[in-house]
Structure formats: C-alpha cells, structure tokens
Structure 1
Amino acid sequence: MKKPNFQGWLQQKVSDEPEVILAGKLEYLRLYLTDAMREIRNKAGLTQTQLAEKLGVQQAAVSKLESALKEHELESVLHYLYALGADLLIAVKQGNELYQASDNEGSFLVDVPDVVAQKALAAKMSVREYVRVAIEKFSSEDDGLRTALVKLLESDDSVAVKVRERLGSRTIQEIAVKLEKCLSLSEEDRIFAVKNVLAANVAYRESNRGSSDEVDEIELLDLAEELLEKLADILE
C-alpha cells in the first residue's frame, strides 16, 4: 500500500508554523489509517454492512470510521481492527529513540519470523530483547570479519597478491563484501561462489588470450581453494 504523499506536500507549503504542521500530521495519519482500514476490510472480503454486523453497530458507524474527514477514537479503531484479525502497532519517536507503545511485547513494527520468537523463548528473552542482542552481535561480527578480510587482501601473502591481480577495476572493499557473502553459504557451494568472485574481468582476459578457458577455470578453482583455506583461518 503506497502512502499518500500528503506530508511532503505539507512540508512544502508550511515549515515554520508548529500548529499548522501538527494539524497536517493529524490529517496525514487519518488519511493513511483509513486507507489501511479499508484495504484490510476489502482483503477480508467484507462489506461495510457485514463488518458492522460483526461489530454490532450500524453501517454508518463503519463508514464514519473509514472516513478521513472524521475524528477517530482509538478504542473504536482497535475494535474495528480486532474484528478483522488485525492489530494497531504504535511507536513514539523522540530524536533517535523509538518507543513502541503496543500492548504486546512480541509485536514489532516489522515482520518477525516465528522461528525468531521460538529462539527468543528458548533463550528466556522477550522477542524485542532477543532481536536487539542478535543485531548487536551480528553487527560486531560483521565489522570484524570484513576488517579481517580487507587486512588479508591488502597483505603480502602470496594468495592475496594473486587475488589483487584479478581485481581489475574492483576495489578490495568490494571483493571483501563478496567474499563475506560467500562464507554464509554451505561449504560445498563456497568454492564455486569464491571462484565466481575471482573470475577474470575483461582486462585480465584480454591480456591472457593465449590461455584456454579450461586452463583458466582450473587456475580459478585452485586459487579459490587456496583463498578458502586462508578464510578458514580467519573464521577460527
């Protein structure tokens, strides 16, 4: 669902009147919220009348809830969404801090796979805490691994020298990122992925036209195997 670009329009029209900007934010929220509500109801295959029957109200009440021109009580919106098997996730942002105000600790403003919730339960942690810790750990490992890869590729190691000969216009950072992705694959797939990363670019091929493709493939596989041995040392 594409958000209405009302906020962008508002910022162009006024930018220094807090009261007007606040009114615009409220209008934007109503537009987006009611658009989402109508879309959810339509996906559920219900008319306004049918949903009204589930809620125990008149059709006019549902129509009012779906109108961006009307005031909306939070309680009424929650009842509407609950009847459709949906929920409202709310967050408050102040500076760089984001405070989620949803009543469900396990609910996020992004989709979280069931397997993550299961791992959090096994670790005796809330989903929110588990995700935060996992992200912090992944970020630190990611930075450390990439730094180690760059250090290896910049070294005087004979394998690193061979790899740099095949860089062409690519930078060591680019190769490090690609090798990092290779390491996330299964062991049997890694060597072919690394070989593809090392594949000679146009300039390299033109300077070696006398060699056959078969020989080049063998050289690439040998170099990929040597490089993987070096990478294995980094992972230990």
Structure 2
Amino acid sequence: MKKPNFQAWLQQPISDDPEVILAGKLEYLRLYLTDAMREIRNKAELTQAQLAEKLGVKQAAVSKLESALKDHELESVLHYLHTLGADLLIAVKQGDDLYQASDNDGVLLVDVPDVVSQKALAANMNLREYVRAAIEKFSSEDNRLRTALVKLLESDESVAVKVRELLITKTTQEIVVYLEKCLSLPEEDRIFAVKNVLAGSVAVAESNRGTSNEINELELLDLAEELLEKLAEILG
C-alpha cells in the first residue's frame, strides 16, 4: 500500500483538540519511521541480531527500536541509521519558515540565523561552505570524544576495569552515551553526573548528588574524578 504524503497529512485538521492532534502526529511519525528503519535494515540484508551486534546492544533493543508501539530516543535512532549508512533528515516548520538540518553532504540548513551569515562572510566563505565546515568540525569533535571513551573503557586501565565492574549490565556503547551526556554539562557539574552514572542512576541530565546503597559515596566521587582526569589526559 502506498504511504500517504506526510507533509499533506500534517496539514489535515484531525481535530480541534491539541492533544488529539499531537497524538495523531506522534503515531504517524512512529509508523513512518519504524517502517523506513526496517526497510533499510532489510536492504542491508541484516537480521535484527546481526545489526544488534554491530550496534553493541542486544537483539531486543533493535526490536524495540523497530516497533511503532515504543517511544524512541533520537540518539538511538541516529546510531541505528548511521550504522546502516543512512541519515535522518529533520525539518521544523513554523508558518512559512522552514528549518532543516542534516549531516548529509547534499542537504544543509535551509534557513539560518543572520549571525551565521555574518560569520560566513567574515570567514570569506559562502553560506553553504561555512555550514558544511561547521558540521564537519563538530562531527569530528564528537567522533574524537566517542573514540576516546570507547578506547578507555575497553582498556586495562584500573579506572576502566572499575567502571566495567560497576556497570556490568551495560554495554560499552551504552556507557559511552551516558558519559557523553555528562560531558555536555557545565564542567563543575560533570563529576556529580558521572558519579550518578556509576551509581546506576543514568538520568545524567541531573547532576545533583545521589545516594547509593552499594558503594560509598566518596568512593564513587573519587572514581568519577579519576575517570574524568584520565579522559582529559587522553584527549590532551
């Protein structure tokens, strides 16, 4: 059956109730997205188990990602698609304004703030060149951090061994995702966020002091500090 046009569907007056409209859009997005994900995986001739191995997760995690009945984290979807050599194109429309972004070479920002245009002019670059350079720069920095985290966590360093023992139920990729979130916080909050991850509290957006019944609070903070120092040493 041919899929309905997504943009046309978004314009349909489903209901005057905002909650009903939102629920309808979310349901359609999940159906559309998961259908595309399964199709891409099948074209790659990979089973869920084979893709799970590449992602460093269990097969059940891939099954959940491909289910339209589940909520999806953007990071997990991007990781899934990136592993299959695919991109997720995201567009936000407000009235006549369209904001679209992608790391695909052929698609850049459709509409950008004036400050970006000014910076491109100051750098003696056209807008497309400037945006592409910025995307490559940030992508390179993200990849460098991710590579450093994986290398450290899989090493025989004492701090890595301790982290693996504490988070024995988590895959390396899962730990990396949590730590990346910690490192996106202000520097003064990172140690407490990492401590929460080590304590098993993966809601790292909150950097407040948590408690742990299994390991001393100070020991967790010491390990968090050691981990951050080792990572800083690796990144130079």
TM-score normalised over the length of structure 1:
0.48
Question: By percentage of residues, which structure has more helix?
Answer: 1
Structure of larger gyration radius: 1
Tell me the TM-score normalised to structure 2 length.
Answer: 0.48
